[in-house]
Amino acid sequence: MLNSLKGLGVTLKTMLRKPVTAQYPKEHLPVNRRYMGFPALTWDFQVQEPYCVGCMVCIRNCPTQCMTATLKDNPLHKEGKSTRRKIVDIFEVNLGRCILCEICVEVCNFDAIVMSHEHELSKYERNGNRVDLQALLEMGKQYQEDTGWEPEQAAAPKEGVQA
Partner 1 sequence: MSGDLTTTRPLDTLELMINMGPQHPSTHGVFRMVVWVDGERIVNMEPYIGYLHRGSEKLSEGELYNQVITLFDRLDYVSNFNNELTFCMAIEKLMGVQVPERAQYIRVIMCELNRIASHLLFYGTFGLDVGAMTPIMYGFRDRERIQSIFEAVSGARLMHNYFRVGGLRQDVPSDFRERMERLLPQLEQGVEECDQLLSYNEVFLARTRSIGVLTKEEAIAYGASGPVLRASGVPEDVRVSEPYSVYDRFDFNVPVGKKGDCWDRYYVRVEEMRESLKIIRQVLAQLPDGPIMAAGVRRIIRPPRGEVYVRTENPRGDFGVFLVSDGTDKPYRVKIRPPSFLNLQAMQAMMRNAYVADVVVILGSVDIVLGEVDR
37 binds ligand SF4 per the rule CB under 6 A: no
The nearer residue to partner 1, 11 or 23, going by C-beta atoms, is 11
Give the integer Cα–Cα distance in Å for 52 and 106: 14
16 binds partner 1 per the rule CB under 8 A: no
The nearer residue to partner 1, 63 or 75, going by C-beta atoms, is 63
Residues 101-140 that bind partner 1 (CB under 8 A): 101-103, 106-107, 115
28 binds partner 1 per the rule CB under 8 A: no
**How buried is residue 12: exposed, middle or buried, by Cβ count under 10 Å (0-12/13-18/19+)?**
exposed
Give the integer Cα–Cα distance in Å for 33 and 149: 11
Candidates 10-18, 22-30, 96-104, 147-155: pick the segment binding ligand SF4 (CB under 6 A).
Answer: 96-104
Q: Which does 106 bind (CB under 5 to 8 A by kind): partner 1, ligand SF4, none?
A: partner 1
Residues 102-107: contacts with CB under 8 Å, at least 24 apart = 102/36, 103/58, 103/61, 103/62, 103/63, 104/39, 104/58, 104/59, 104/61, 104/62, 104/67, 105/39, 105/58, 106/158, 106/161, 107/57, 107/58, 107/61
Contact pick of 48, 70, 85, 100 for partner 1 (by CB under 8 A): 100
Residues forming contacts to ligand SF4 in the complex (CB under 6 A) are 39, 52-58, 62-64, 66-67, 69, 88, 93, 98-104, 108, 110, 112-113
